[in-house]
Amino acid sequence: MFDFRKSSLILAVLAAASLTSVSLASAQSVYDGRNAQMLLVSPEGDILDYVPEAGEVMISRDRMGRTVLIDRMGNLVATEIPAESYYPPRQRGGNRGLPGVYDPYSEPAPAPRGWDDDVTTASIPDVDPRDSLPLDGLPQDMPYGGPDLPAPADTAPARTVTPEIPVKSNLSRLEITALQAFLDREGISPGVIDGKMGQNVNKAIVAWEQMTGETLDPNNADDILERLRLSGGLAIKSYTITAGDAAGPFVASIPDDYAHKAQLPALSYTSTAEMLAERFHMDEGYLRELNPGVDFSIPGTTIKVVEPGPYKKGNVARIVANKGLKQVFAYGEDGGLIAAYPASIGSADTPSPSGTVTIERIALNPGYTYNPKINFQQGNNTQVLQIPPGPNGPVGTVWLALSKPTYGIHGTPEPSKIGRTQSHGCIRLTNWDATELAKMVKSGVTVEFVE
């Protein structure tokens, strides 16, 4: 078990927004030694494109002594490295056999002038448990490290890269919200709707164009507004909080310790705001920004929310989980694309499967079984624990069990991190995307993992 310690160095990182403005080009500019700074680097070797909020991550050290950020689920969020030691992952040497996965211990890139090339970006070996099927057919944890990794291959395919969509710098958050809402209504999920452009939105635009054969210009606000009008109306609507909304049930907080989780009646939402944000496919922080000073616990309060539209309908015959894109594609029997979702799919330490498997079981609102006799031991928990269901449970509100034991497609208690952090080997979606997909599949549907 890691000893999570606070570091004054990393606290400064969490408090400063300057890291979000560090581009790949600016990181490369330090190779000449004129600029010394620290960077937060994702497990894939990319510069982190956001600053984790204080309280959302824990601070630790990996076995190489570097400062790392771990989220509440135990997933590696970022590793702190000196900027002069950073080298873009697409220019590094080949990996050691995990197709499509960046190997943190592969041969490093040539050292910049004046520096020893002895630092690489990496995820933490053996930190995260792996989601697996419990004794009763629902998910539970796997031991640290998981199964043996495949033997190194001679060559590895190149990483899949999402095309960058040219976007005007003066697009407002409401214009981006309109774009996100339209894509969501089309069944091409941008993940949480937060009024911000990013890779999840870029991927959704590309997938929508593949599905329709049309071109979607995010800079054409008039076109997007017209598409919204035809698909259900404007992106933002008024909503009045009901007595049922305010009543919950809610829990005060979600504990980290599994023994404490097991004592709760359910891993429910912690507030009306969290519940409403998920209902309307929004980032909770963005919901609060749209409604400054509002007390969401008071029935009768009118607030502004996004109108995502109804769930997409269809019969999904085949699913493709693209590890490189961090995106899941759902196809009909005719081969046409029905839906696409951003996803967290495995990690370097706990890779997802390869090849093709099938969906065996579908469970809505699943529980979670912790068994230290066959899994890792968390803290002082030595007994089997039944973790109750709920949207803040380890697998969210959905579990689609795959034919490969221990793997599944499931939801998440932290939708804003989908596509940004890694999973324990499974396919992790937002709860609403996982629910939509669950309603369109049945046992026997194939799931193909591609690089």
For 92-111, the pLDDT digits (tens) are 333 333 333 333 333 334 43
Helix or strand holding residue 210 (H, E):
helix 199-212
Per-residue pLDDT, averaged over 125-151, amounts to: 35
Using DSSP, state whether 336 is helix, strand or coil. coil
What residue ranges of the chain are covered by domains with CATH 2.40.440.10?
131-153+314-450
pLDDT band at 69 (very low <50, low <70, confident <90, very high): confident
Lowest mean pLDDT among 71-80, 119-128, 248-257, 412-421: 119-128
For residue range 187-240, what is the model confidence (pLDDT) as tens digits? Answer: 999 999 999 999 999 999 999 999 999 999 999 999 999 999 999 999 999 999
Strand blocks (E) in 30-145: 38-41, 57-61, 67-71, 76-82, 131-132, 140-141
**Higher pLDDT residue, 1 or 251?**
251
* Backbone torsion region of residue 397, taken as left when φ is above 0, otherwise alpha when ψ lies between -120 and 50, otherwise beta: alpha
* CATH fold of the domain at 131-153+314-450: L,D-transpeptidase catalytic domain-like (2.40.440)
Paired sense of beta strands 398-402 and 408-410, if any: antiparallel
- Name the percent of the chain lying above pLDDT 90: 51
Per-residue pLDDT, averaged over 287-313, amounts to: 97
- How far apart CA 124 and CA 208 sit, in angstroms, is 35
Lowest mean pLDDT among 25-29, 80-84, 343-347, 429-433: 25-29
CA distances from 71 to 243, 282, 333, 391 (A): 33, 20, 39, 17
Give residue 68's pLDDT.
75
Residue given tokens 């993992």 in the structure block: 449
Q: Tell how many helices (H) and how many strands (E) occur in the chain.
A: 10, 19
- The two tokens of residue 188 are 């091409």
Residue 144 has pLDDT above 60, yes or no: no
Helix or strand holding residue 11 (H, E):
helix 8-15
- The two tokens of residue 37 are 């700074």
